[in-house]
Each structure stands twice: as structure tokens, then as C-alpha cells.
């Protein structure tokens, strides 16, 4: 993951720019879903960021630890009320390890796509598996690539056009890469933010999980557990570590 993207300027404005993700109808279903999968066990969030989900899950009584590569993002979390309730280890989620075994490891809000190669994404799955206790679960929330809505021959698609914000994605189809471009006007100033991603299809993520020794047990269109279909724009998927060592069954 490119730490230059998540610098101090971006970290300071991140919660304001994602305020819609804090709405109760958005956040509560995610926390409910994760709480049920964690049960009475501990949880580990990869790319914990400023703690939107981790702090809400911790408030439910779940012991939450986070891994975060961006020191400015982790500092924003620590400055929040109860921010110290979530222990954060600085490092790359593909390799950083923390003590203990967890009932739940999770990545939300497309965090897996911030890893820009297939090799890094596989390493992330393997690192998650290392942290899971037997029977533990990995949960990933991520978008489904929007390529069906990309006109033939085009490489850019707008996702938001407003009075103060313009957002569009550009695609490199050969490398499964996209860059989200954000142009914002506020207080008479214009700012830009470019966020690179590597998209992956649901079946590709299933294969990554199998390489890490995990088997898929659930796939939903959203945190409310709507059925996943060919028209779904995102998915919440769950993979489970076997109770005993051995090859998981699909």
C-alpha cells in the first residue's frame, strides 16, 4: 500500500470526507454483522484507519486490535475519545503480525484493493489466516468491479458529480488497476486526491482464501445480508479457518 496516499493532509480530513459512512444506517449493520461473527472472541482489523468500525465494535465489548500502515491515520484514531481502547500496530497488513489469536479478522470499505498486486493480496489473506484461531473467520467488504458499466473503448467512469465534488475512476484493464480521482472545492480552495486500487473478482478472492487455507462460508451483497446476485455492486464475504489442520472443503 502506498503510504504517501494516506498522508497527514488526507488523514486530517478523512473523517469529514467519509462522513456518510458514519450514518447509523451504514455503520450499525456492519458492526452488528462483525459482532455476531466475533462472538465472545477478539477481533483484528487490517487497515484500521481512523477507527470508524473498530471503535464502534469495541464499544460493543469486543477486544479490537488494529494494523495500520499510515502513521497519520493511526494518530487520528488515537486522538479520538476512547481511541486508546483499540491497540494499533503500525505496519503493512501483508506482513505485520501481532500477538494472540483472533476469532475474527476483517477488512472493510474496499481496504483489500489498496494492495496493488495479486501477490500482496494473497499475502494479506495468508497473514489473516496466521492470526485466526481454529474456526475463526475472515470478513472482507469490497466492491464488485464495475466494468459492465464502462462503455466500450473508454477507460474512465464518473461516480459522483456535485457542486463541490467531482469523482471518477480510471481503469487499466490489463493490470486490474483503477485510480479514484477526487476533486473538491471548499472554502474557495480546490483540492485533489488520487487513490490507486487493484480490483479483484469474488472468485479470485475465493482462490486467494483457499491458498491461505480458508474456505468460504458466506457471501452477501451487503452488511444487511441481502442475497448476492449478478447485479450486486459489492459483497461481504466470510471465509473460515478449519477447526483442525487439513485441506478445507468448499
- Is 138 in contact with 77 (CB distance < 8 Å)? no
Residue 28 cell numbers, joined: 450499525
Q: Residue 189 falls within a domain, yes or no?
A: yes
Averaged over 201-213, what is the pLDDT?
98
State the Cα torsion 203-205-207-213 to the nearest 10°.
Answer: -140
Q: How many CB atoms lie within 10 A of CB 56?
A: 19
Residues 139, 151: one domain? Answer: no
- Is 22 in contact with 14 (CB distance < 8 Å)? no
> What pLDDT does residue 73 have?
97
> What pLDDT does residue 247 have?
52
* Structural domain boundaries, residue 181: 147-195
Angstrom distance (rounded) from CA 197 to CA 246: 33
Could you read off the pLDDT of 164-174 as tens digits, one per residue?
A: 889 999 999 99
Could you read off the pLDDT of 22-48 as tens digits, one per residue?
A: 999 999 999 999 999 999 999 999 999
130 CB contacts (<8 Å, ≥6 apart)? 97
> What pLDDT does residue 1 have?
44
- Please, which pLDDT band fits residue 236 given cuts at 50, 70 and 90? very high
Angstrom distance (rounded) from CA 55 to CA 101: 20
Cα 248 → chain centroid: 24
Residues 87, 125: one domain? Answer: yes
Give just the sign of the alpha carbon dihedral 83, 111, 194, 96.
positive
Q: Residue 188 falls within a domain, yes or no?
A: yes
Helix H, strand E, coil C: the string for the chain is CCCCCCCHHHHHHHHHHCHHHHCHHHHHHHHHHHHHHHCCCCEEEECCCCCHHHHHHHCCCCCEEEEECCHHHHHHHHHCCCHHHCEEEECCCCCCCCCCCEEEEEECCCHHHHCCCHHHHHHHHHHHHHHEEEEEEEEEEEECCCHHHCCCCCCEEEEEECCCEEEEEEEECCCCEEEEEEEEEECCEEEEEEEEEECCCHHHHHHHHHHCCCEEEEEECCCCCCECCCCCCEEEEEEECCCCCCCCCC
- Please, which pLDDT band fits residue 250 given cuts at 50, 70 and 90? very low
CATH number at residue 58: 3.40.50.150
Q: Residue 64 falls within a domain, yes or no?
A: yes
Residue predicted with more confidence, 4 or 235: 235
- Please state the domain count of the chain: 2
Q: Residue 1 falls within a domain, yes or no?
A: no
Residue 72 cell numbers, joined: 497519520
Could you read off the pLDDT of 51-98 as tens digits, one per residue?
A: 999 999 999 999 999 999 999 999 999 999 999 999 999 999 999 999
Residue predicted with more confidence, 246 or 31: 31
Residues 16, 85: one domain? Answer: yes
Residues 140, 174: one domain? Answer: no
Residues 95, 173: one domain? Answer: no
Residue predicted with more confidence, 19 or 59: 59
Angstrom distance (rounded) from CA 213 to CA 130: 10
pLDDT at residue 249 above 60?
Answer: no
> What pLDDT does residue 246 have?
53
- Is 79 in contact with 112 (CB distance < 8 Å)? no
% of the chain exceeding 70 in pLDDT: 96
CATH number at residue 176: 2.20.25
Mean pLDDT rounded to a whole number for the chain: 93
Residue 41 cell numbers, joined: 472472541
Global pTM reads 0.92
Amino acid at each position: 500500500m502506498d503510504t504517501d496516499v494516506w498522508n497527514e493532509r488526507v488523514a486530517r480530513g478523512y473523517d469529514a470526507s467519509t462522513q456518510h459512512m458514519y450514518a447509523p444506517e451504514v455503520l450499525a449493520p456492519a458492526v452488528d454483522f462483525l459482532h455476531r461473527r466475533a462472538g465472545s472472541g477478539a477481533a483484528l482489523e487490517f487497515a484500521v484507519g481512523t477507527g470508524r468500525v473498530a471503535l464502534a465494535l469495541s464499544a460493543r465489548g469486543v477486544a479490537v486490535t488494529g494494523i495500520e500502515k499510515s502513521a497519520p491515520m493511526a494518530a487520528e484514531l488515537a486522538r479520538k475519545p476512547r481511541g486508546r481502547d483499540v491497540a494499533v500496530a503500525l505496519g503493512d497488513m501483508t506482513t505485520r503480525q501481532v500477538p494472540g489469536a483472533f476469532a475474527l479478522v476483517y477488512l472493510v470499505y474496499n481496504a483489500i484493493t489498496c494492495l496493488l498486486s495479486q501477490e500482496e493480496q494473497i499475502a494479506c489473506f495468508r497473514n489473516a489466516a496466521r492470526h485466526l484461531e481454529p474456526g475463526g473467520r475472515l470478513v472482507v467488504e469490497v466492491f464488485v468491479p464495475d466494468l459492465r458499466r464502462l462503455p466500450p473503448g473508454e477507460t474512465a467512469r464518473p461516480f459522483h458529480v456535485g457542486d463541490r465534488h467531482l469523482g471518477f475512476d480510471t481503469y487499466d484493464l490489463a493490470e486490474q488497476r483503477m485510480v479514484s480521482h477526487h476533486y473538491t472545492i471548499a472554502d474557495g480552495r480546490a483540492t485533489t486526491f488520487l487513490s490507486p486500487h487493484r480490483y479483484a473478482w469474488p472468485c479470485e478472492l475465493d482462490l486467494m482464501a483457499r491458498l491461505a487455507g480458508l474456505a468460504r462460508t458466506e457471501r452477501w451483497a451487503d452488511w444487511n445480508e441481502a442475497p448476492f446476485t449478478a447485479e450486486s455492486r459489492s459483497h461481504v464475504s466470510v471465509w473460515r479457518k478449519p477447526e483442525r489442520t487439513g485441506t478445507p472443503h468448499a
